[in-house]
A and B are shown apart, each in its own frame.
Chain A
Amino acid sequence: MTDSGTTAFLPALGRALPAIGEGLLVTLEATALGAALALLVAFALGLAARSRSRTVRGAVRVTVEFLRGTSLYVQLFWLFFALPMLGFRLEPMACGVLALGLNYGAYGAEVVRGAVAAVPAAQTEAAVALGMGPGLRLRRIVLPQAYVLMLPPFKNLLVQLLKSTPLLSLVTVADLTFRIDQLRSATGGTAAAYLLLLLVYFGVAVLLGAAMNALERRAKARLGVTGGSA
């Protein structure tokens, strides 16, 4: 069984390549859209976490803790299976992007909040002394410096987000995992198919990490800081 599966695997892989390529594109799409939404959520919640209003801070706290404290898997299933019962039906891909964006956005919110808090107060004071208002101070002085601090943790979150996308195959999104799983059941080449799956995710993760490292090096160079993490 295993032998016949393995011998039949390569020709079947050849035939399945276009479908696998499509699956990879879907995975990349889910990663990109999920990360974009997560970035929006992270900045919205992360900046609101520094609000003067206790009510706003409290609401942010509860939202972030809820999104981080409930499993991405359950969130996704809730969006896909439970939400339609309340009369809202979303496309599988939309469910996936929403779940990834909210979940990773909540983790990102902590990154944004922490990075903004890590910019020295003296920088804000210098901006106040130049007559800059709160919006200008945040946009021109604090965020550009916080951005450099955000990049390494954002890199980790982005790779984790990529690695979470196989969950989407459970709600019928035809991503990379879904396509290779089809190949596996068609050929019985379980070891080979899953090895291939590991390697493709690893390759994409390495490329994403390299892109983030390049961003970080550029940001540090602008700050006049030499060196950087590899």
Chain B
Amino acid sequence: MPTDTVPEAPRARAPEKVRFEGVTKRFGDHTVLDGLDLTVAPGERVTLIGPSGSGKTTILRLLMTLERVTDGVVHLDGEPFSHMPAGPGGKLVPADERHLGPRRRRIGMVFQQFNLFPHMSVLANVVEAPRHVLGLDADEAAARARELLALVGLAGKADAHPTRLSGGQQQRVAIARALAMRPDLLLLDEVTSALDPELVAEVLDVLRDVADGTDITLLCVTHEMGFARDVSDRLLMFDRGRVLEAGTPDELLDAPEHERTRSFLRSLR
């Protein structure tokens, strides 16, 4: 049998949670990401910083498969995620829903605008996916949801309607909702950017607790450098679709190499 007919085997137990392999994303003529290579280790906390339009949010959206890559492959847990092997050659083709479905469940995402379901109570928002995606029975899903609502400090709001909550409370519900699926990778997309300044701390405190209390892999896009410094193992400075520089929070925030990084950090103050 010729070797080129052997399907490509997933790299077993690779020390990578996520790997972007030459990922390019274009919207029309506009190139948002340009041949990005990026690996995130299991349990690692990585924060993406950089000016808006530099492609940070696109990375999270590609990883959550809310967008499709223009070129390249996104890998999850050592196997292709954005693509799947097909045919006798194991050639990679864009993934279909059957490939994406079970893998998406390992990833949770919290959005800038919360995106709670407005036709459901707070509790129902958190119960929804465990109940209908994981198939938990109603009692089990509700118990899990109440536990998480307590974790985010909203035990008393279970029966409230999402629109009756403050932005900070809504975002904490969204965090509980994402965690209810027990993802091992959590994507945080500018989760405090839509909040009034006095509500930012309550959301970040909850996220610090999550980061400290679990070994979940975190990928954040944020402009909150204090939070980024506290939780991150590694910071990546993005500029025009590429990683300009990378390092520990101390390296990048206190001694940036590039003038663009320095001017970006100055602009946040």
A interface residues (Cβ-Cβ under 8 A, vs B): 122-123, 125-126, 128-134, 136, 140-141, 144-145, 222-224
B119 lies within 8 A of A222 (CB): yes
Q: Across the A-B interface, give the 5 residue pairs with the lowest CB-CB distance, nearest first.
A: A130-B129, A131-B105, A126-B115, A129-B109, A224-B161
Q: B108 on the interface (CB 8 Å rule)?
A: yes
A133 lies within 8 A of B118 (CB): no
A131 lies within 8 A of B133 (CB): yes
A131 lies within 8 A of B104 (CB): yes
B97 lies within 8 A of A133 (CB): yes
Contact of A123 among B101, B115, B181 (CB under 8 A): B115
Chain A residues whose CB sits within 8 angstroms of the CB of B64 once the complex forms? 125, 128-129
Chain B residues whose CB sits within 8 angstroms of the CB of A133 once the complex forms? 97, 101, 133
Q: A126-B115, A224-B163, A224-B164 are in contact. Are A132 and B129 (CB under 8 A)?
A: yes
Chain B residue at minimal CB-CB distance from A226 = B163
Chain A residue at minimal CB-CB distance from B134 = A131
B119 lies within 8 A of A144 (CB): yes
Shortest distance from the beta carbon of A156 to any chain B beta carbon, whole Å? 23
State the main secondary structure of chain A at its contact with B: helix
Shortest distance from the beta carbon of B116 to any chain A beta carbon, whole Å? 8
Q: B178 on the interface (CB 8 Å rule)?
A: yes
Q: B241 on the interface (CB 8 Å rule)?
A: no
Shortest distance from the beta carbon of B91 to any chain A beta carbon, whole Å? 22
B117 lies within 8 A of A126 (CB): yes
Q: A123-B115, A144-B119 are in contact. Are A129 and B132 (CB under 8 A)?
A: no
Chain A residues whose CB sits within 8 angstroms of the CB of B177 once the complex forms? 130
B interface residues (Cβ-Cβ under 8 A, vs A): 64-66, 97, 101-102, 104-105, 107-109, 111, 113, 115-119, 128-129, 132-133, 161-164, 177-178, 181, 187
Shortest distance from the beta carbon of A119 to any chain B beta carbon, whole Å? 10
A128 lies within 8 A of B66 (CB): yes
Q: CA–CA, A127 to B116, complex, Å?
A: 10
Q: CA–CA, A132 to B100, complex, Å?
A: 10
- Total A-B pairs, Cβ < 8 A: 63
Q: CA–CA, A128 to B62, complex, Å?
A: 12
Q: A128-B104, A129-B109, A131-B181 are in contact. Are A140 and B128 (CB under 8 A)?
A: yes
B132 lies within 8 A of A132 (CB): yes
Shortest distance from the beta carbon of B161 to any chain A beta carbon, whole Å? 4
Q: CA–CA, A130 to B113, complex, Å?
A: 16
Chain B residue at minimal CB-CB distance from A121 = B66
Chain A residues whose CB sits within 8 angstroms of the CB of B107 once the complex forms? 129
Q: A122-B111, A140-B128 are in contact. Are A130 and B118 (CB under 8 A)?
A: no
A125 lies within 8 A of B128 (CB): no
B115 lies within 8 A of A130 (CB): no
Shortest distance from the beta carbon of A129 to any chain B beta carbon, whole Å? 4
B133 lies within 8 A of A132 (CB): yes
Chain A residues whose CB sits within 8 angstroms of the CB of B164 once the complex forms? 224
A122 lies within 8 A of B105 (CB): no
B119 lies within 8 A of A223 (CB): yes
Shortest distance from the beta carbon of B244 to any chain A beta carbon, whole Å? 28
Shortest distance from the beta carbon of A179 to any chain B beta carbon, whole Å? 44
Chain A residues whose CB sits within 8 angstroms of the CB of B104 once the complex forms? 128-129, 131
Chain B residues whose CB sits within 8 angstroms of the CB of A223 once the complex forms? 118-119
B101 lies within 8 A of A131 (CB): yes
Chain B residues whose CB sits within 8 angstroms of the CB of A129 once the complex forms? 64, 66, 104, 107-109, 111, 178, 187
Shortest distance from the beta carbon of A9 to any chain B beta carbon, whole Å? 53
Chain B residues whose CB sits within 8 angstroms of the CB of A144 once the complex forms? 119
In the assembled complex, 27 residue pairs joining A and B whose CB atoms fall closer than 8 Å, in A order, are A122-B111, A123-B115, A123-B117, A126-B116, A128-B66, A129-B64, A129-B107, A129-B109, A129-B178, A130-B108, A130-B129, A130-B133, A130-B178, A130-B181, A131-B104, A131-B129, A131-B181, A132-B133, A133-B97, A133-B133, A140-B132, A144-B119, A145-B118, A223-B118, A223-B119, A224-B161, A224-B163
Chain A residues whose CB sits within 8 angstroms of the CB of B118 once the complex forms? 145, 223-224
Contact of B113 among A122, A140, A145, A224 (CB under 8 A): A122
B132 lies within 8 A of A134 (CB): no
Q: CA–CA, A223 to B65, complex, Å?
A: 28
Contact of B119 among A128, A131, A145 (CB under 8 A): A145
Q: A129-B66, A130-B178, A131-B101 are in contact. List 4 more A-B contacts (CB 8 A).
A: A126-B117, A128-B104, A129-B108, A129-B178
Shortest distance from the beta carbon of B160 to any chain A beta carbon, whole Å? 10
